[in-house]
Amino acid sequence: MNTLPNPIEGSLIFENKYLYVCLANFPITKGHSVVVWKEDVTDIHLLKRIEYEHLMDVVDQARNAILSTLGVEKVYLIYMDEVKHVHWHLVPRYDEEGFNVLTHNPKPLLDVSLAKDIIKHWKYLS
């Protein structure tokens, strides 16, 4: 299975046999979420085309659900492979622009209630 920490109970937003979406365990902003590929794949270029397209469709769905739920104008999509496992960070931008949002100190996720709100705005893939 994947090398990333498991989602905190109640933080799961979407899951299928390939990936899952959940609130980040250590968010840098309210609504910071991750889309995690379940299979151990160390870099995005190693995914098959159909897998990559599915991953990006889910990233798009997650972004749209977060935008609708939080009413923010922008959600940053961040792909970093520092842990050698395919996953995306979706970081809502509030009243700031640019890289400043990335300087916030992550704090442990204590309240998972936002996951239910994001689920309500999720438009399932066909």
Q: What is the pTM of this model?
A: 0.92
Please report whether residue 110 resides in a domain: yes
Higher pLDDT, 90 or 123: 90
In-domain check, residue 3: no
Residue 2, domain member (yes or no): no
Residue 88 in any domain: the answer is yes
Residue 12 has pLDDT above 80, yes or no: yes
Residue 7 lies in a domain: no
How many domains does one find in the chain? Answer: 1
Domain boundaries, position 94: 12-120
86: in domain: yes
- Tens digits of residue pLDDT in 54-108: 999 999 999 999 999 999 999 999 998 788 999 999 999 988 777 778 788 899 9
CATH at 64: 3.30.428.10
Within a domain: 54: yes
- Residue 112 pLDDT: 97
Please answer whether residues 87 and 20 qualify as being in contact, where contact means their C-beta atoms are separated by less than 8 angstroms. no
- In a domain, residue 100? The reply is yes
